[in-house]
Structures are given as C-alpha cells and as structure tokens.
C-alpha cells in the first residue's frame, strides 16, 4: 500500500521527493506534525532504500538511529549517501536559530533531507525561515481519518496533498523519549557520550547551547577526555 502512495505522491508532487531539501512543518498540538514527518520518512525510504534516518524520537523503520537532544554524529553521517534528519519540536533547543543555520549548511553540502516541526512560524527568525525549501501546514482530521498537508515552496506556490488512512502509522513511532527543555548538564552528558571527536563536539555544542554556555562546556569536555582542540 505504501508503494502505491509513493507512486501517486510522486506523480503529482515529484519535486517534493527530491533529496537535499529542508521542510519546516508548522502546527499546533494534534495537527499531525509528527505524523507527517513519519509518513514522509516512509515515503522517502521506499523511494531510496539506502536512506538512513535519524530522529529525536523513535520510529519503527529500517536503518533508523535515535538522536537524543538532537546530538548528531556529523562525521559518521557525512560518509553516508542518503540521510534524513528529523527534529520534532524544535522549541526544546536552547539555540534554535544557530541549530538551523548549522543543519541547513550541512544539508546543502551533503545532500541531506531535514524535517523539523514547531508550533509557531515565529520560533525561527526570518533568516532561519528562509533556509527552508518548504513551509508545511498539516491538518489532521479525526473524523475523516485523513491528513491534509499544504507544502508552500520558495515561490509561494502551494502543493496540497491528502494522506488517506494515516492512522496506520500511529503505531510506527512514539515521542515519549523526547526530553522537554533539557538543561545544560543534560546536554553536556549526552554530547560527551555520543561524540567521538572534538569536531563533532564543537558542532553539536554550537547547534544546541546558547553562545554564553558554549565555551564553558567545550573546555570541560576537552579537559575531561584529554582531547586536543
């Protein structure tokens, strides 16, 4: 069934299934934001079986890696040909705009797809919003059991699409392991346990922490692991 959806989706909106795109998915709680990211992950996975998927919540899909707190193994994923990074609820980050700038730059250079969700358009500044190739508005209809998605491109052209029976994918993911508003110590502990080189440590700290906290924790990690800058 999913392959048929991919074929139909591709016929009408084939340009949306191109790798190296950034999707800003916006909507209030219950609008279907996370569900849409999961649907797109499965669609892209069918189109490209070699796709590796990284997300800050668990998805029951092949070649998946859970990235707690948005800490990304940049060195490792740069060696991969097809990558999708999903960040659900970007508001949990302390430095949203810096995270967006870093992740957008990496996406362009390495042909990654980036999907991130937020409740409000203004969570990103103007520059951050302009980084996205598509602003996406999902509307989940409980009565009809459909998910309408409106993809607006950089030319303000809108591509509407309706996913029928999206409920089939509710059991494919859970968001219980997303940590709401982690403090700096949570970030520090996870970064030091997740990264195996200073470059990745620096990149992740810059993308997650406020600028005032960056140097403090970088020095702490380098000193603890006896690493060279």
Angle value at C-alpha 15, between 110 and 20, nearest 5 degrees: 10
**pTM reported for the whole predicted model:** 0.83
Contact 138, 151 (CB under 8 A): no
Q: What is the pLDDT of residue 177?
A: 60
| Tens of pLDDT, residues 181-213 | 567 777 777 787 778 787 888 888 887 777 778
Dihedral (Cα; 92, 94, 98, 100), 10-degree rounding: 0
Q: How confident is the model at residue 224 (pLDDT cuts 50, 70, 90)?
A: confident
Among the residue ranges 10-14, 97-101, 156-160, 222-226, the one predicted with the least confidence is: 10-14
Q: How confident is the model at residue 9 (pLDDT cuts 50, 70, 90)?
A: low
In this prediction, what percent of the chain has a pLDDT beyond 90? Answer: 23
Average pLDDT, the chain: 80
Q: For the chain, what is the radius of gyration of the CA atoms?
A: 18
Contact 121, 28 (CB under 8 A): no
Q: State both tokens at 104.
A: 């957008």
| Tens of pLDDT, residues 76-108 | 888 888 899 998 888 766 667 777 777 777 777
| Tens of pLDDT, residues 105-130 | 777 777 788 898 988 877 776 766 77
Q: What is the pLDDT of residue 54?
A: 93
Contact 88, 66 (CB under 8 A): no
Is domain 2-177 given the CATH code 3.50.50.60 in the classification?
no
More confident position, 16 or 151: 151
Q: Mention every residue, 6+ apart, whose C-beta is less than 8 A from residue 46.
A: 2, 3, 6
């Amino acid at each position: 069934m999913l392959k048929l959806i991919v074929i139909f989706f591709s016929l009408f909106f084939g340009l949306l299934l191109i790798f190296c795109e950034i999707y800003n998915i916006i909507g209030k709680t219950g609008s279907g934001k996370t569900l849409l990211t999961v649907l797109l992950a499965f669609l892209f996975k069918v189109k490209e079986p070699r796709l590796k998927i990284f997300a800050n919540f668990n998805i029951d899909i092949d070649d998946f890696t859970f990235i707690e707190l948005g800490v990304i193994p940049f060195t490792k994923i740069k060696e991969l040909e097809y990558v999708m990074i999903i960040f659900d609820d970007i508001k949990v980050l302390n430095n949203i705009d810096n995270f967006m700038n870093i992740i957008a730059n990496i996406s362009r250079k390495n042909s990654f797809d980036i999907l991130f969700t937020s409740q409000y358009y203004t969570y990103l500044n103007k520059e951050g919003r302009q980084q996205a190739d598509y602003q996406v508005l999902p509307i989940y209809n409980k009565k009809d059991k459909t998910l309408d998605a409106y993809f607006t491109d950089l030319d303000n052209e809108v591509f509407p699409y309706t996913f029928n029976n999206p409920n089939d994918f509710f059991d494919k993911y859970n968001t219980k392991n997303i940590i709401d508003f982690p403090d700096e110590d949570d970030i520090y502990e996870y970064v030091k346990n997740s990264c195996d080189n200073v470059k990745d440590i620096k990149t992740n700290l810059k993308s997650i922490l406020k600028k005032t906290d960056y140097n403090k924790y970088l020095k702490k990690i380098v000193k603890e692991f006896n690493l060279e800058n």
